[in-house]
Amino acid sequence: MTKRPATKKTKAPAPRAWQRMLSGRRLNLLDPSPLDIEIEDIAHGLARVARWNGQTVGRHAFSVAEHSLLVHNICVALRPGLPANWRLAALLHDAPEYVVGDLISPFKAAVGLDYKAFELRLLSAIHVRFGLPAELPKGISALIKRADIAAAYFEATQLAGFEEKEARKFFGNPRGITPIILTPASVHDAQKKFLNVFGEIEKARGH
Domain total of the chain: 1
pLDDT by residue (tens digit) across 87-118? 999 999 999 999 988 666 666 666 655 677 88
- The answer to whether residue 126 is domain-embedded is yes
- The answer to whether residue 76 is domain-embedded is yes
SS (H, E, C) the chain: CCCCCCCCCCCCCCCCCEEECCCCCEEECCCCCHHHCCHHHHHHHHCCCEHHHHCCCCCCCCEHHHHHHHHHHHHHHHCCCCCHHHHHHHHCCCCCHHHHCCCCHHHHHHHCHHHHHHHHHHHHHHHHHCCCCCCCCHHHHHHHHHHHHHHHHHHHHHCCCCCHHHHHHHHCCCCCCCCCCCCCCCHHHHHHHHHHHHHHHHHHCCC
- The answer to whether residue 121 is domain-embedded is yes
pLDDT digit string (tens) for the chain, length 207 residues: 556 655 556 666 666 678 899 999 999 888 899 999 999 999 999 999 999 999 999 999 999 999 999 999 999 999 999 999 999 999 999 999 999 886 666 666 666 556 778 888 999 999 999 999 999 999 999 999 999 999 999 999 999 999 999 999 999 999 888 888 999 999 999 999 999 999 999 999 998
- The answer to whether residue 19 is domain-embedded is no
- The answer to whether residue 21 is domain-embedded is no
CATH number, domain containing residue 61: 1.10.3210.10
- The answer to whether residue 2 is domain-embedded is no
- The answer to whether residue 3 is domain-embedded is no
Domain that includes residue 108, residue range: 35-204
